[in-house]
Amino acid sequence: MYLCSNTVYGLIVSPQHLRYVWRVMKWSLSVQTAYFIPALHDYFSERIGSATRERDTLNSAISAPPSPSLTAQTAEGEDEPPTLSNEDEWCLEYLSIFHVPALKEAFDDDTNGLVNVREVNQFARSKSMPESWSILKRLAYAAAGAHFRNQDASFVLN
């Protein structure tokens, strides 16, 4: 079965952020892990920065009369990234270069150096994390959790 690369992102069940990154980057069924993790970092850093700028703009606009740009409602289409809360900004530090090995392990379960759509869906549906967590919290747990699991293992072994 042949799938066009512009429809592959539709196979990613959730979350919308991963689907959006996959589509914007025009990846096919798989992507090298070395490209995937930095792309996530760049995307979330940009989105958190946008959310912070919007919050600052709204705070300064509270005392000013409403402007058309602030009151206009825009429909969230496929060309726009999903909204993101800036309360998860602390999670960005876990998408750093220091946590790449743990994040690679979290997505690339067959260790072939590629992340595919199935692996992204498997990560998103993982039962090892609460369903209520945002994708950024899940990524932070995947990055830091491996460190704590390794510490627990070394404690048990010693």
| Residue 74 included in any domain | no
Domain with 38, as residue range(s), is 12-57+81-157
User: How many structural domains is the chain composed of?
Assistant: 1
pLDDT at residue 78 in the model:
53
Residue 56 burial by CB count (10 A; 0-12/13-18/19+): exposed, middle or buried?
A: exposed
- pLDDT tens track for 79-134: 677 888 778 899 999 988 889 999 999 999 899 999 999 999 999 888 888 888 88
In a domain, residue 137? The reply is: yes
In a domain, residue 66? The reply is: no
Tens of pLDDT, residue by residue over 36-91, are 999 999 999 988 876 555 555 545 545 444 433 322 233 344 567 788 877 889 99
Evaluate whether residue 5 is within a structural domain.
Answer: no
Residue 124 lies in a domain: yes
Domain for residue 1, yes or no? no
State residue 91 phi and psi, 5-degree precision. -70, -20
Residue 64 within any structural domain of the chain: no
pLDDT at residue 148 greater than cutoff 70: no
Contact 116, 36 (CB under 8 A): no
Candidates 45, 31, 39; CA nearest to 118 is 31
